Amino acid sequence: MIALSSRLDPVKPSASAWVSQAANEARSRGEDVIDLGLGERDFDTPEHIKHAAHAADMAGQTKYPPTSGTLALRKAVADKLRREKDLAHGVDEFIVANGAKQVIFNAMRATLEDGDEVLLCAPYFGQYKDIVLILGGRPVTIPCVAENRFRLQPGDLVRAITARTRWIILNLPSNPAGAVYSDDDLRSLGVVLADHPQVMILSDEIDEHILFNGRKFRSFAAINSDLKDRTLTVNGVSKTYAMTGIASAVAQLEKESN
Ligand SMILES: Cc1ncc(COP(=O)(O)O)c(C=O)c1O
In the chain, domain spans:
73-257
In single-letter form, the type of residue at position 71 comes to L
- CA 49 to chain CA centroid, nearest Å: 21
Does position 45 have pLDDT exceeding 70, yes or no? yes
Contact residues of ligand 1, CB 6 A cut-off: 39, 99-101, 125, 171, 175, 204, 206, 236, 238, 244
CA of 55 to the centre of ligand 1 (A): 27
Confidence of residue 93 (pLDDT cuts 50, 70, 90): very high
| Percent of the chain at pLDDT exceeding 90 | 78
Residue 105 has pLDDT above 80, yes or no: yes
Q: What is the mean pLDDT of residues 222-241?
A: 95
Q: pLDDT class for 151, splitting at 50, 70, 90?
A: very high
The mean pLDDT value of the chain amounts to 92
If pLDDT is split at 50, 70 and 90, which confidence band does 258 have?
A: low
Ligand 1 centre and the CA of 129: distance in Å?
13
The residue that leads in pLDDT, 126 or 39, is 126
From atom 15 of ligand 1, which residue's Cα is the shortest distance away?
A: 125
Is pLDDT above 70 for 159? Answer: yes
What is the per-residue pLDDT for 254? 59
User: Which of 162, 176, 168 shows the shortest CA–CA distance to 232?
Assistant: 168
User: Mean pLDDT across the stretch 190-200?
Assistant: 98
Centroid of chain to Cα 25 = 29
- For residue 247, the model assigns a pLDDT of 52
Domain 73-257 adopts which CATH fold?
A: Aspartate Aminotransferase; domain 2 (3.40.640)
Say which range, 27-41, 54-68, 233-247, has the weakest mean pLDDT. 233-247
**Nearest-angstrom CA–CA distance, 98 and 103:** 8
Give yes or no for a contact between 187 and 155, defined as CB atoms under 8 angstroms apart: no
**How many A from CA of 63 to the centre of ligand 1?**
26
Query: 1 CA distance to ligand 1 centroid (A)?
Result: 31
Q: Which of 20, 169, 175, 210 to mutate to test the pocket of ligand 1 (most atoms within 8 A of CB)?
A: 175
Which of 34-43, 180-189, 247-256 has the least mean pLDDT? Answer: 247-256
Look at residue 19 and tell me whether its pLDDT is greater than 50.
Answer: yes
Residue 113: pLDDT over 90: yes
- Give the Cα separation of 19 and 10 in Å (integer): 20
Kindly tell me the sign of the dihedral angle through the C-alpha atoms of 45, 248, 168, 129. positive
Does position 30 have pLDDT exceeding 70, yes or no?
Answer: yes
| Residues 74-90: tens digit of each pLDDT | 999 999 999 998 899 99
pLDDT top residue among 14 and 31: 31
The model's confidence at residue 246, banded by pLDDT at 50, 70 and 90, is low
CA of 126 to the centre of ligand 1 (A): 10
What's the rounded Cα separation, in Å, for the pair 252 and 236? 11
